[in-house]
Chains A and B, each alone.
Chain A
Amino acid sequence: MENLEENQKTSPKETDIFDARLQRRAFLQYAGAGAAVVALVAAGCKKDRPVYTDFGATLDFKDDTGVLNYAYALEQLEAAFYIKVASAPPSGFTQAQKNYFQDVQYHEIAHREFFKKALGTASIGSLEVDFSSIDFTSASSVLGAAKTFEDLGVAAYNGAGARLKTAANLVIAGQIVSVEARHAAWVREQLTPGTFADLNSLTGLGSSNSGGLDGALSPDKVLAAAKPFIKTKINIINL
């Protein structure tokens, strides 16, 4: 924390503001810390400090591999959720809702398997999920969780797109995010008709109703929101 204090003492020149996030290799120890604290720690870290991670998965955002692994992590989470619901849907589900979860599990499996194959040996491997907060016998609990995952997934892809350096990867991300947005719209209609694109309800994810803009969130914020559902520790570096 010394670095942090030094930074605060010095009256920052504008160039420092830019350097702080630009040129230092940010090291985010991602474990329970609030986003603000994480950002401060990141800004305070020295260049090229070695990263130690004892266990868990590390997302290194220095290049597209990190971004694709990030997507792979989120798709693993979604796939696991939909597979679980499709295998034993809540008794309160309509036939249309059962069909939906049946279909969407294949979409999420397709996304997960695509990233797994595309990443090959560079993949972060399988994550362990934690769905203990979801009541899988309750239609509203399951639909609510699906809404959370889909809206967050859309904001995640929207917020990560500009990090990709290869156009082909950006296209793939675009091909997936619109499918996730279709899921989000559908599940929202199941919960409250007319809310398929209620951008006022998504401001926490970075939406703007006046601009007609969907959510967009940086990976650290997305993973903080997804943290309760992921047992595996995820380390973020070079964000």
Chain B
Amino acid sequence: MNIVNILEEIEKVDGEIYERLNPRRQAMKDFFNVGKKISLAAMPLALGSMFNKAYGQTTLPTAVVDVLNFALSLEYLEYHYYNHALLGTDVTFTYPGASRAAITVIRDHEKAHVDLLKGALGASARAEITYAMTDFTAGGAFPVYSSYPTFLAVAQGFEDTGVRAYKGQAGALMVSPGVLQTALQIHSVEARHAAQIRLMRSTPEGGSVAVKPWVSLGAAGQANDSGVPALDLVYAGEDSVMQATISIPPLTGAPTANDGQKKAAVESFDEILVKAKVVEIANIFLRTGFKL
């Protein structure tokens, strides 16, 4: 993140930024000194507090606020999904091996994302989504809290959707480089989660589903590699072999039999998912009256 670029961008729309910051000259000096010590990742928060002091409120562009609130909705959903799986009294499956610890790590990250986004949005943050507003069984279709394999399958759907959703919104965040970088840092954590959930489902880890840590081609050559047809929406378009105007095949060395070239091309690039499609997926898990 480049703080100087952010200040320059603000100066374009608010020529008085330095004057606004000026009465707090000492605070600015402290900020720069502190900045050397705090980690880069903590910078967005530190910046947020500095700008709050200068303006008395957050000044994120409307488009950025919309994206962050959209992300916040998804993070609420993910958080409640895992949190209930860990704490819910109606959860009847048992966690094999170290799976509870892995789900706890993921739950904690989702909570951190909720808190981070809420903090960045301040008064512009959307209303909280509570667990009571959700229905992760999708009207009983998915026994997520009584079947561990189903729980993991839907988790995979959430994580892969999250990865596609953040990617799809990145362009809208270009006006705010600091926010964009933070979103990218969340995005790759979601990808790590997705890989882990996929690994937990897969054969080498004691699971029974032939999924890879990355999105591959389905067994019958379809875009959805999850083995769960109900998740088709999540993987629509993931079978693309064209990136920009460039065809990824032919790939030197990759097998040509059994869709080998196409598989390698599909696995190499994750695809974006537009907001409307993500909303469609999220709404499956939200009760009437609370849909996005």
Contacts and interface: CB of A to CB of B under 8 A. Distances in A.
Interface of A: 14-15, 17-18, 21-22, 83, 94, 96, 103, 105-107, 109-111, 113-114, 117-118, 154, 157-159, 161-162, 164, 167-168, 170-172, 174-186, 189, 193-194, 196-199, 203, 206-217
Contacts of A175: 167, 243, 269-272
Contacts of B187: 174, 177-178, 214
B191 A171 contact: no
A65 to B, nearest CB: 14
Contacts of B178: 162
Question: By CB atoms of chain A within 10 A, which of B18, B39, B267 has the most?
Answer: B39
Given A174-B272, A211-B45, A212-B112, A158 B39 contact: no
B18 A185 contact: no
B189 A22 contact: no
Given A18-B7, A172-B244, A212-B112, A182 B195 contact: yes
B112 A216 contact: no
A98 B267 CA distance: 17
Interface stretch (B147-155, B169-177, B222-230): B169-177
A213 B212 contact: no
B180 interface: yes
A114 B248 CA distance: 7
B127 interface: no
A211 B188 contact: no
A176 B265 CA distance: 12
Question: By CB atoms of chain B within 10 A, which of A83, A168, A185, A216 has the most?
Answer: A185
A14 B268 contact: no
Question: By CB atoms of chain B within 10 A, which of A114, A162, A170, A217 has the most?
Answer: A162
B161 interface: no
A194 B105 contact: yes
Given A177-B184, A212-B116, A196 B264 contact: no
B167 A174 contact: yes
Given A157-B184, A213-B182, A106 B267 contact: yes
B204 A214 contact: no
A74 B76 CA distance: 35
B255 to A, nearest CB: 9
B219 interface: no
B102 interface: yes
Question: By CB atoms of chain B within 10 A, which of A181, A193, A198, A199 has the most?
Answer: A181
B41 A211 contact: yes
Contact of A107 (B45, B106, B214): B214
Contacts of A199: 109, 189
Contacts of A161: 170, 180-181, 184
Main secondary structure of the interface of A (DSSP, over half): helix
Contact of B188 (A22, A105, A107, A181): A181
Contacts of A113: 248, 251-252
Contacts of A198: 105
Contact of A114 (B40, B182, B184, B246): B246
Contacts of A114: 243, 246, 248
B63 to A, nearest CB: 13
B184 A174 contact: yes
A151 B28 CA distance: 33
B268 A178 contact: no
B217 interface: no
Contacts of B243: 114, 172, 175
B199 interface: yes
B192 A21 contact: no
B98 A210 contact: no
B135 to A, nearest CB: 25
Nearest to B111: A212
A170 B170 contact: yes
Question: By CB atoms of chain B within 10 A, which of A14, A103, A197, A215 has the most?
Answer: A197
B186 interface: yes
A196 B192 contact: yes
A212 B189 contact: yes
13 contacts: A14-B21, A17-B32, A109-B251, A111-B268, A158-B184, A179-B268, A182-B198, A194-B102, A203-B39, A211-B44, A214-B186, A214-B187, A214-B188
